[in-house]
Structure 1
Amino acid sequence: MSDDGMRRLLDYHRRRIWMANGWCLRFQVKEVALTQERPYGIKYSFTLHDMDMARLLGFDNAHGLPRRIAYDHQHKFKRTERLVPYIYHGTDELLVDFFDEVERACLADGVEFEFDDQEIELEEELDDGKEVSD
């Protein structure tokens, strides 16, 4: 992975982006040692949440898929228990794919794909931070 791509991705760590309809996107990204499960050296969790902070969809590599060695996967929109393998092609593609999926979710729910504000989460706010911690 290029240093520029890694820096761009790591800049998303702890970012929370609010949408005009009250939903928010949360990003957790950590550089990790290269392993068979994470051959590109990152551990990530990108999630979309509703106004009550219930997870609506996600992309992550925090845990393996049942009966597979693969770690990268999606949690489908409004069926987050359903895991679908995700083929990682690079840092920029990962971000584009996540935002594309968020846009599809907005269209499916009849809401605008419009961003309102963003902030950086405090460490203590990372209630599901265990997904990207060591």
Structure 2
Amino acid sequence: MSARDTSLDTLLDLDGQTMFVGETYWVKFAVKAVTVTPQRPHGLRYSLTLHGPGGERLVGFDNAHAISAVSGPSRKSTQKYDHKHRFRTLRPYEYSDAATLLEDFWSEVDGVLKEVGVIK
């Protein structure tokens, strides 16, 4: 039996929270514990997003829908649920634990906010 991910409580406590960055950017969290399935083996449904002045999503880490991921020498396509959005790009995300998810999300948020000139 694997050890319980203690950072999971921190992530679940963020559900429903909105945090403002500057005057026109915000981060929104939607996180729920769900039944473990092959699509959500970690037992979470989550959406962590950064939004810009017009409400557009600039960064998103979620598992709300499947995406096709191409991998391996045969370039075989598989369905992945955990993924990340950055501006208009969409890439698979390898979920390992809640703490790493939060760290990766905030790192991506910082990178985008620097890129658009909100922070230095």
RMSD: 1.5
**Letter in structure 1 aligned against 2:92:** P
Looking at CA atoms only, which structure, 1 or 2, has the larger radius of gyration?
A: 2
1:69 matched to 2:79: yes
**TM-score, normalising length: structure 2:** 0.84
Distance 1:4 1:87 in 2: 19
Check conservation: 2:49, 2:57, Cα contact below 8 A: yes
Aligned to 1:53: 55
Q: Give the number of aligned pairs.
A: 110
Matches within 5 A, 1:4-83: 4-66=6-68, 67-76=77-86, 78-79=87-88, 82-83=89-90
Name the structure with the higher strand share: 2
Q: Report the equivalent of 2:105.
A: 98
User: Displaced runs of 4+ in structure 1, greater than 3 A?
Assistant: none
Greater relative CO (CA pairs within 8 A, separation 6+) = 1
SS of the residue corresponding to residue 47 of structure 1 reads strand
TM-score by length of 1: 0.76
2:50–2:59 CA contact under 8 A, matched in 1 = yes
Amino acid at match of 1:106: L
Q: Unmatched 5+ residue regions in structure 2?
A: 69-76
Q: Report the identity percentage.
A: 38
Paired residue for 1:123?
Answer: none
| Alignment-mate amino acid for residue 100 of structure 1 | S
Report which stretch shifted further, 65-74 or 30-39. Answer: 65-74
Gaps of 5+ in 1: 114-134
Q: Which moved more, 1:45-54 or 1:61-70?
A: 61-70
* Deviation sequence 1:25-63 (CA, Å, 0-9, x none): 000000000111110100100111012211112000011
Conserved? CA contact 1:17–1:26, under 8 Å:
yes
How far apart are the structure 2 equivalents of 1:32 and 1:6? 13
